Amino acid sequence: MSNRFTDALFQLVHSLEKSEKRHFKLYIKRSSANEDLKIIRLFDALDKLPEYDEKLLLKKLPDIKKPQLANIKTHLYKQLLGSLRLLKATENIDLQLSEHLDHARVLYNKGLKLQSLKILEKAKEIARSNQKFNFLAQVISLEKKIETLHITRSSTEKTLVLAEEAQEISSHIDRVTRLSNLALLLYRWFVLNGHARNPEDEQDLIKFFREYLPADINAVNGFYEKLYLYQSYSWYAFIKQDFLMYYKYGQKWIDLYNEHPLMKEVETGHYIKGMHNLLNAHFDLRNFKKFDITLKQFEEFSKTPVATHHDNFRTHTFIYINSAKVNQHLMQGTFREGLALVPEIEEKLEEYALFVDQHRILVFNYKIATLHFGNGEYEKCIDYLQRIINGPIDLRIDLQCYARLLHMLAHYEMGNYELMESLSKSVFRFMARMKNITVVEEEMLRFLRNSFGVSPRELRPELEKFLNKIKHLEKNRFETRAFAYLDIISWTESKVYQKPMREVVYEKYIKSKHRGTVVA
C-alpha cells in the first residue's frame, strides 16, 4: 500500500474525481499551446498507470525526453491546482475569502482604493459570519494600510473602529493559536506514547497542560476558541484515562456545533473528529444506549452532502463509523458479526490508500486481531498482530505492547507451550524497554509463565487467584488501559467458568444494558 503512491503528481491525478478530470480538460484546452497538449498526454498516461513507473511513463510518451519530464510534470501540477481552485472556489469559504482579498489587492494596486475598500468590507462580513478571524486579520491589515497611506474620505470614527477591531482580533488569534497548539501537541503525545503510564507521566502531562493554557482563559469566547479548548481538555482527559472528563468535553465539542450549525459546513473535519471522540468516550464508559444513539446520528450525517463533499470527509467518516461498529461488537461480544465487516473495511482501506495514515491502519489491524481472538480464531489473530509487530514501532507504543501480549495469549490458546517461555521473556523485555509495563501486565506474564504444563484441575484455582488479583486493579486509573485494550478479565472468566469468551462478554453487555448507561 505504501509503495503505490510515491510521486506527488501521480497522487494528485489519482485523487481526482470524474467531474474534476473533465473540468481540467476543458480548463486547459481553452488556451491550449503545444506545451499544454503535452501535459494532457502526460495527464492521460498517469491516469492509466496503476503505479508510478517513470520508465513505463516515458515509453508511453516517446516525444517527451527524460530531461524534459520534470518541467512538464511541474507545469501539469500547477495547471491541475489552478483548475481545482477555479472549480472549488464557490464550494469553500476559505477559497472565496482568498479570492475577495486577491481582488482587493489587484484593485488597490491599480489605484482604485475605494473599490478595494468596498470589497474588503464585503469580505469582513463573510469572515465574521463564518468565524474566520485569521482571515479577518489580513483584511483589516490591508484596510489599515490603505487608510494610513491615502486620503479615502473615511471618517475618523472608522479609523478608531479599525484600530479597536485589530486589537480585539489580535487577542483572539493569540488565544486560538495557543489552544490549537495545545490540542495538537497533546494529540502528538498520545500518538507517540498512548495513555499516561504512571504518576510521573501524569505529572509531566499536568505541567505541560498548565504551561500551554492561555493566561486569560476566562476570556475564551467564540467558536474556535471554545473548539480548541474542548479539544485540548478531551485529549488531556483521554491521556490521563479520566474517561468521565473525556466524555464531558467530547459532548461539549459536539454541543458547540449544535449551537453553531453553520460551522458543520465550515469546519466539517473537526465535527467528524468530535463525533469519533464522543463515540470513543461512550465505548470507554460502556454507555451502550448513548453509543447507539451517537452512532446513528453519525451515520445519518455521513449521508449528507456536507459529509460526502470531499475525499477527506468521505474517508474519515467511513473510517470512524466502521471503527465504532467494530467497538460495538467488541462491547457486545458479537465477534463473529464484527468479523463480517472486515472484508469491506479492508477493501475501502485499499481504495482510500492515498488518504489513510499508518496510525489508522495500525489501529484497525489491532481491532480486527481482537475480534478474531474473541471468536477463537487464534491463527488469524496472529496474522493481523504480525502486521503490527513486524511494522515500524514509532507509533502508538501502547498498541505495540498490547499486540505482543495478545500475540502471546493467542499462542497460549493454541497450546504452543514450547514458545511461551521465550515469548514471555521477549514481551517483558519489550514492554520494560518501552516503559510500558503496569501491574496488570506483570501479573498476567507471571500467571502465564507459572501455568505452563499445569494440569486443568490444578489450573482452575490458579486462574481464580489471577482473576481476583486483576479485578482489584480494575478501578486503578493507571491500570484501566490494560482492560480497555485487552479484555483480560473476560478472557480469564471464560477460562474459570469454561465458557467461550464471546458468551462472557455478551452476558456482561446484557446485564449492563438492563442496568442502564454509566453516565446519566
pLDDT of res. 1: 41
Mean pLDDT across 276-280: 95
DSSP assignments along 119-179, one per residue: HHHHHHHHHHHTT-HHHHHHHHHHHHHHHHHS-----HHHHHHHHHHHHHHHHHHHHHHHH
- φ and ψ of 245, to 5 deg: -65, -40
**Residue 398: per-residue pLDDT:** 77
The model's confidence at residue 443, banded by pLDDT at 50, 70 and 90, is confident
Q: What's the mean per-residue pLDDT of the chain?
A: 85
pLDDT at 98: 86
Tens digits of residue pLDDT in 355-369: 788 888 899 999 999
* Predicted confidence band of residue 472 (pLDDT cuts 50, 70, 90): confident
**pLDDT class of 519 with cuts at 50, 70, 90:** very low
- Report pLDDT digits (tens) over 95-150: 888 888 888 888 888 888 888 888 888 888 888 888 787 788 888 888 878 877 76
Residue 479 pLDDT class (50, 70, 90 cuts): low
- CB neighbour class for 255 (10 Å; exposed up to 12, middle 13-18, buried from 19): middle
Q: What burial class does residue 468 get, using C-beta atoms within 10 Å of its C-beta: 0-12 exposed, 13-18 middle, 19+ buried?
A: exposed
Query: Is pLDDT at 477 greater than 70 in this prediction?
Result: no
Read off the pLDDT band of 457 (50, 70, 90). Answer: confident
- Structure confidence at residue 222 as a pLDDT band (50, 70, 90): confident
pLDDT of residue 483: 72
14-28, 50-64, 147-161: least confident range: 147-161
Inform me whether the pLDDT recorded for 517 exceeds 70.
Answer: no
Model confidence pLDDT, tens digit, residues 232-262: 999 999 998 899 999 999 999 999 999 999 8
pLDDT, position 29: 77
**What pLDDT does residue 417 have?**
80
pLDDT at 2 over 50: no
Distance CA 139, CA 143 (A): 6
What is the pLDDT at residue 35? 52
One-character DSSP codes across 267-287? SHHHHHHHHHHHHHHHHHHT-
Say yes or no to pLDDT of 164 above 80: no
Block residue for cell numbers 515469548: 423
Confidence check: pLDDT of 339 > 70:
yes
Instruction: Kindly state the cell numbers that stand for 48.
Output: 492509466
* Other C-beta atoms lying within 10 Å of the C-beta of residue 135: 21
In this structure, the dihedral spanned by the alpha carbons of residues 150, 155, 157 and 163, taken in order and rounded to 10 degrees, is: -20
All three cell numbers of 409, joined, read 495469549
pLDDT reported for residue 36: 61
For the chain, what percent of residues have pLDDT higher than 90? 33
Does position 5 have pLDDT exceeding 70, yes or no?
no
Q: What digits encode the pLDDT tens for the residues 27-69?
A: 887 766 555 688 888 999 999 998 888 889 888 888 888 888 9
pLDDT tens digits, 64-91 = 888 889 899 999 999 999 888 888 777 7
How many CB atoms are located within 10 Å of the residue 202 CB? 18
Stated pTM of the model = 0.76
